[in-house]
Copies of this chain bind each other. A is one copy, B any other.
Amino acid sequence: MSEATRWLDGREQDVWRTYITMSSALTDALDRQLQGDSKMPYTYYEILVVLSEAPERSLRMSELAGLRGSSRSRLSHAVSRLEEAGWVVRRECPTDKRGQVAVLTDTGFDALRAAAPGHVTAVRETLFDQLTAEQVDALGQISAAVLRKLDPEGTLPGNREPAPGAGACGQPPDV
């Protein structure tokens, strides 16, 4: 606090402004695409993806929250909403009576399978099709470096080594 602020120089300001504008425009575009085509916000899509890859297509609430870097409260609200849609159900946890387990239903899996192609196509067209192979590599390294700072423990997906079953997001949902 006693240190003088290290302001950004001209180049850094340019990069920052361009990055933050691109970043919000990109998530906006993906959100709109999913909401329009599949009636689900992007954050809910991510929940379905994570569940679809989990064993038994089910996860404890707090594991799900941790994997998604979202608060317990947010997840609780979200799962309530997904339950209304019939895409997820809550079950009691057999080993811990405080716990709840979220399970992806068949309907939810179908909804995910229907939503995936449009989403992946949007990601490919807006992001990967605009970049060279070297830029894709660079983006991966840059993201990993920043993420290490934001999440030193490496609990978020995409941080540290690729997770064991890490497919997802861009893959066709497994049969």
- State the A residues within 8 Å of B (CB): 5-8, 10-29, 69, 116-117, 120-121, 123-131, 135-151, 156-159, 162, 166-172
- A14 close to B130 (CB less than 8 A): no
- A141 close to B150 (CB less than 8 A): no
- A124 close to B8 (CB less than 8 A): yes
- B18 close to A147 (CB less than 8 A): yes
- A15 close to B140 (CB less than 8 A): yes
- B130 close to A167 (CB less than 8 A): no
A120 to B17, alpha carbons, bound, how many Å? Answer: 12
A12 to B144, alpha carbons, bound, how many Å? Answer: 14
Question: Interface SS of chain A: helix, strand, loop or mixed?
Answer: helix
A150 to B23, alpha carbons, bound, how many Å? Answer: 10
Which residues of B are found within 8 Å of A144, using beta-carbon distances? 18, 22
* Nearest neighbor of A5 in chain B, beta-carbon distance: B117
Which residues of B are found within 8 Å of A125, using beta-carbon distances? 149
A144 to B117, alpha carbons, bound, how many Å? Answer: 26
**Would you list the 7 A-B pairs with minimal beta carbon distance, nearest first?**
A8-B170, A18-B158, A15-B140, A17-B158, A21-B158, A5-B117, A22-B143
- A12 close to B167 (CB less than 8 A): no
Which residues of B are found within 8 Å of A168, using beta-carbon distances? 13, 17
